[in-house]
Structure 1
Amino acid sequence: MAILERNHLMIIQEVAREGSLTAAAARLNLTQPALSHAVRKIEIQLGVKIWRREGRSLVLTQAGQWLLSLANRLLPQFSLAEERLEQFANGERGTLRIGMECHPCYQWLLNVVSPYLERWPKVDVDVRQKFQFGGIGALLGNEIDILVTPDPLYKPELKFTPVFDYELVLVVGSGHRLRDVQCVTPEQLADETLITYPVPTERLDIYTQFLQPAGIAPRQQKQIETTDIMLVMVSHGRGVAVLPRWLVEEYATRFDLHAIRIGKHGIAKQIFLGRRETDEDVQYLTNFIKFAASPGDQDVLIP
């Protein structure tokens, strides 16, 4: 009977990631001949062909592709289990791994993390922005512990807690023609350059909740990853942006900006923190969520 081992999955994952035995061997701290031998041994042990050669490259077979998918799901969970066990052995409370699925939420998160760390000296926080706009998979795959998102995707395995209400506003520079209007209409944005984060249009509320229902599109869209550069561009008249009102107010001392309500009723949003249902008993994790929702309630931070 074939016995699948963890090191089999690690080898399959590294060879697929690096694209060659030489590079994969370096990552695995093996010599290239030793890895070649291990590759042949895996196929013999499992009784199935995992790779086929195409020139100098190794390409996964159908069985190999399935094993790679399995490795991508299981190996992060092995790593998490080992990390948690090491923390228990060392008397630590743990590392809280936070995934960001919201560009402007990073500034809000800083205001939460700092006082939290003061009260939980044995907890580390690791913020991972590589999970922007793909965080549900990372949360389900145990690669992160908390997902910060304005757009929760409810699943039976996950729980989302609203922690912060805010309003999206149009941001313009001091010399912009719209700076003195009370609220903007979709038609007024038809001739504008809209500066956004690098996010698909279907995930931008300014499109889905405001422009598209009116059949309007901006003259041009520019994507910028950093908030500071975005606001520099807006303040110099290179376009307009849509950001949380609280974030615009925080930047008010640095840039001459004006926040305008979007439509008569505005666009109301919430920041949610998502976690796995199975982590309900992880005290430092659940206390972080409680504190984020009620930052003035210090009782929730007692370790």
Structure 2
Amino acid sequence: MSEGPFLDLRHLKMIRAIAEHGRVSDAAEALGVTPSALSHRIKEAERRLDLVLFTRIHKRLRMTPAAEYLADVADRVLSEMDRAERDVRRMDRGVEHVVRIAVEAYSSYHWLPGFIKYLQTHLPGVELQVMASVTREPVRALTNRHADIVVTSGGATPIGTHRIPLFRDELLFIFPPHHHLAGKAYVEGHDIEGEDFITYTLTPEPDREFARLFRPSGRYPRWTAMVEMPEAIVELVAAGQGSSVLAGWAVRPAINAGRIIGARVGKDGIEVPWGALMRSEDKDTGPILDVAEALAQWSSINGDFG
């Protein structure tokens, strides 16, 4: 009987490892096999498919379009299998569903214990799993099923997704307590001209400080650093190494602790809507919708995530 043309899990893991590491030796080490065994596995996969998956350039492997496609499929399949295995194990603990949640851009989870307590009361059969590695590409995380719900800012609802509104949050200029602007209730364009400024993205967004304050006033701070983790920005600001603009709910614990000072962005302030984004296929019924709606109810009780 023929072994068939199909790849098995070993091949999918191999393709994903090579996509991540680029070298046979590194991929083999990650998989716990010898480089010769991995090379044999590559040849076996190419023989079964009757096509070339990788070409060699010096000591690295270049993926063909077919391999790139399979790497994307492997990532989804293996993630789903890993999730299924964890879900089955949780069934022994009375957990009926596991819902994976992430927050766009921010890794501030001071709100999480309160929400989990609320969830245990209202949805006792659901367990929440926090996915910290998907904060930069929320839609891709949903499409690849790395996350089921991503809390995102802005009002856009990308194709293939469904959004449940959560709350509106005001952006805040943040400074160290000793800063000369720390006593102001709001900060205007002329206040920040030339000030050291730390940002987590260099891409201007239409509803944020660049478009609403910097550009209209023609006044700009002095861009000193790009730090992709807002939580690290808070630490730098607290240490007196610059100022920044971040979501109010995310920096409120540091403000309440007296480590930084917050001020409104402009006299009228800038409010940003936050919502729970999920796949369109989950918007009508099921545990993902239940958790998103519970998050909306909980945040309405608390006002936001602060």
Instruction: Give TM-score, length-normalised by structure 2.
Output: 0.79
Pick one of 50, 53, 63 that aligns with 1:50.
53
Pick one of 16, 34, 45 that aligns with 1:13.
16
SS in 1 for 2:109: helix
Instruction: Return 266-275 or 88-97, whichever deviates more.
Output: 88-97
Q: How does 1:272-287 map to 2 (within 5 A)?
A: 272-280=275-283, 283-287=286-290
Q: Cα offset for 1:228?
A: 6.2
In 1: Cα distance, 2:144 partner to 2:221 partner: 38
- Note if contact 1:43-1:49 (Cα within 8 Å) is conserved in structure 2: yes
Q: How does 1:158-177 map to 2 (within 5 A)?
A: 158-177=161-180
- Note if contact 2:177-2:238 (Cα within 8 Å) is conserved in structure 1: yes
Query: What is the one-letter code of the residue matched to 1:151?
Result: G
- Note if contact 2:54-2:67 (Cα within 8 Å) is conserved in structure 1: yes
Query: What is the one-letter code of the residue matched to 2:97?
Result: G
- Note if contact 2:108-2:231 (Cα within 8 Å) is conserved in structure 1: no
Query: What is the one-letter code of the residue matched to 1:127?
Result: V
- Note if contact 1:77-1:141 (Cα within 8 Å) is conserved in structure 2: no
Counterpart in the other structure of 2:100: 97
Counterpart in the other structure of 2:194: 191
SS in 2 for 1:201: coil
Q: Cα offset for 1:276?
A: 1.0
Q: Does 1:288 align with 2:291?
A: yes
Q: Cα offset for 1:275?
A: 0.8
CA 1:155–1:176: 2 relative to 1, 3 Å: closer
CA 1:66–1:295: 2 relative to 1, 3 Å: closer
What number of residue pairs does the alignment pair up?
297
Query: What is the one-letter code of the residue matched to 1:111?
Result: G
Instruction: Return 131-140 or 249-258, whichever deviates more.
Output: 249-258
CA deviation vs aligned residue, 1:234-261 (integer Å, no higher than 9, x gap): 4554332323344554334421644322
Query: What is the one-letter code of the residue matched to 1:269?
Result: V
Unaligned runs of 5+ in 1: 299-303
In 2: Cα distance, 1:104 partner to 1:296 partner: 17
SS in 1 for 2:271: strand
Counterpart in the other structure of 1:220: 223
Q: How does 1:199-238 map to 2 (within 5 A)?
A: 199-203=201-205, 205-224=208-227, 230-231=233-234, 233-235=236-238, 237-238=240-241
Q: Cα offset for 1:93?
A: 1.5
Q: CA RMSD in A?
A: 3.4
Pick one of 56, 67, 70 that aligns with 2:70.
67
- Note if contact 1:201-1:207 (Cα within 8 Å) is conserved in structure 2: no
- Note if contact 2:201-2:228 (Cα within 8 Å) is conserved in structure 1: no
- Note if contact 2:103-2:150 (Cα within 8 Å) is conserved in structure 1: yes
SS in 2 for 1:295: helix
- Note if contact 2:175-2:244 (Cα within 8 Å) is conserved in structure 1: yes
In 2: Cα distance, 1:73 partner to 1:225 partner: 26
CA 1:252–1:18: 2 relative to 1, 3 Å: closer
SS in 1 for 2:298: coil
Query: What is the one-letter code of the residue matched to 2:27?
Result: A
Q: Cα offset for 1:99?
A: 2.0
Identity %: 25
SS in 2 for 1:138: helix
Q: Cα offset for 1:190?
A: 0.8
SS in 1 for 2:214: helix
In 2: Cα distance, 1:9 partner to 1:93 partner: 29
- Note if contact 1:231-1:255 (Cα within 8 Å) is conserved in structure 2: no
Query: What is the one-letter code of the residue matched to 1:264?
Result: K
Instruction: Return 107-116 or 287-296, whichever deviates more.
Output: 107-116
SS in 1 for 2:294: helix
Counterpart in the other structure of 1:140: 143
Counterpart in the other structure of 1:301: none
CA deviation vs aligned residue, 1:166-213 (integer Å, no higher than 9, x gap): 2112223444333343432112111211233x3333259222332133
Instruction: Give TM-score, length-normalised by structure 1.
Output: 0.80
